[in-house]
Amino acid sequence: MDLVLVNLIDGLVFGLLLFMLSSGLTLIFSMMGVLNFAHASFYMLGAYFGYQISTVLGLGFIGGLIVAPVIVGVAGAAIERYGLRRVHQYGHVPELIFTFGLALLIQEMVKLFWGQNQIPYFEPSYLDFALFSVGDNAIKAYKVFMIFISLLIFGGLLYVLTKTRIGMIIQAALSYPQTVEALGHNVPFVFMGVFGVGSALAGIAGVIAGPALGTFPGMAFTLGSIVFVTIVVGGLGSLWGALVASLLIGWMTTFAASYNIEMSSILQGIGFIKPEDLSESAFQDLWTLTLPQIGPILPYLLMVLILVFRPQGLLGKRES
């Protein structure tokens, strides 16, 4: 029972982290129709900038948390304004290639400046203690801090998008860009703003995930694919969908990793007979499979199922 509670907390932390990445990506996608491959790279930049600002420049962790996302956001906006917008006129494929190239470029730049190795980016000492324990399992204060920051951001985003005038314009620009433009709003500027804010969100995620999950040049790659899965499962353009899908995937991978359910017991449960000598069996791998082994690919399985049975995603509105 203790383990269930601990896993719920751990899954929540990871899910909310995914949400910070996917919320920005899903807004950018629904607005510009471009899958931004470089989104996870902004997350990585956030972590590296956070490290640089907090330790090398000596502004402390909070300094990094405030300054790094701003830099990442400005960089994102500049990339949209001077890169993506120019490529936009040639269609979606060049845009895709542009963001893909950008992701590779950022990865190489990071290696050039900070090297191949994992860098020593740690939690601030004042959050580096066990806040409480469930059974023998310690829950660190930093995890609670991560939950707190993520919820704060979700609340803020929700408020801005649904309750303010800016949010109304953004929502309108999502579905009827021409009309919004005709009403005198600067739609390209809105796009640039959304891209910048989306990048900044990824930057925040990087700053707070860097110490917890490790800051190394492969971090964008390991998290990048799962973020796409999240927005497809949640429904493209839906903030609530991104939240639901992130939490679902967070809990799914966490629980899958912590319970050693064996494939052989499932197979035997549904009536198959386990072969005496597995080394002779053609399905040897299938029989010896356990849930933690396949845990990390479960989200992809979920995505396939969603695409087959509910292509618009869990909370998506549009059919396309």
Verify binding: residue 284, other proteins, rule CB under 8 A: no
Asked if 307 touches other proteins (CB under 8 A), the answer is no
Residues 6+ apart with CB under 8 A from 274: 264, 267, 268, 287
User: Does 3 engage in binding with other proteins (CB under 8 A)?
Assistant: yes
Q: Which stretch binds other proteins (CB under 8 A): 3-11, 33-41, 90-98, 175-183?
A: 3-11
| Piece in contact with other proteins (CB under 8 A), picked from 82-90, 161-169, 230-238, 248-256 | 248-256
Biggest alpha carbon–alpha carbon distance for the chain: 75
User: Of the two residues 25 and 223, which places its CB atom closer to other proteins in the complex?
Assistant: 223
Alpha-carbon gap, residue 312 to 318, rounded angstroms: 6
Question: Among residues 90, 105, 126, 133, which is the contact residue for other proteins, using CB under 8 A?
Answer: 133
Pick the closer one to other proteins by CB: 172 or 287: 287
**Distance between CA atoms of 17 and 20, rounded to whole angstroms?**
5
CA 33 vs CA 41, 101, 126, 127, 211: distances in Å: 19, 18, 42, 40, 33
For 115, other C-beta atoms within 10 Å of its C-beta total 11
d(CA 38, CA 109): 13
CB atoms inside a 10 Å sphere around CB 138: 14
- List, in sequence order, every residue forming a beta bridge with 139; answer none if it has no partner: 132
Q: Which stretch binds other proteins (CB under 8 A): 57-65, 145-153, 215-223, 229-237?
A: 215-223
- Are residues 192 and 80 in contact, defined by beta-carbon separation less than 8 angstroms? yes
Please, which residue, 171 or 258, has the CB nearer to other proteins?
258
User: Considering beta carbons, is residue 193 or 214 the nearer one to other proteins?
Assistant: 214
Strand duo 130-134 + 137-140: pairing:
antiparallel
Could you tell me the sign of the dihedral formed by the alpha carbons of 158, 160, 98, 178, in that order?
positive
Euclidean distance between CA atoms 173 and 254, whole angstroms:
37
The nearer residue to other proteins, 82 or 300, going by C-beta atoms, is 300
Judged by CB, which is closer to other proteins: 40, or 204? 40
Determine which residue in the list 59, 63, 87, 137 makes contact with other proteins, applying CB under 8 A: 137
Q: Does position 186 bind other proteins by CB under 8 A?
A: no
Query: Closest CB to other proteins among 95 and 123?
Result: 123
Pick the binder of other proteins from 33, 155, 296, 311 (CB under 8 A): 296
Q: Which of 66, 257, 267, 298 binds other proteins (CB under 8 A)?
A: 257
Q: Look up residue 262 and give its DSSP letter.
A: B
Residue 211 · residue 187 · CB < 8 Å: no
10 makes contact with other proteins (CB under 8 A)? yes
Binding to other proteins by residue 292, rule CB under 8 A?
A: yes
Site residues (vs other proteins, CB under 8 A): 2-3, 6-7, 10-11, 13-14, 115-120, 122, 130, 133, 135-138, 140, 213-214, 216-218, 222-223, 226, 253-255, 257-258, 260, 290, 292-293, 295-297
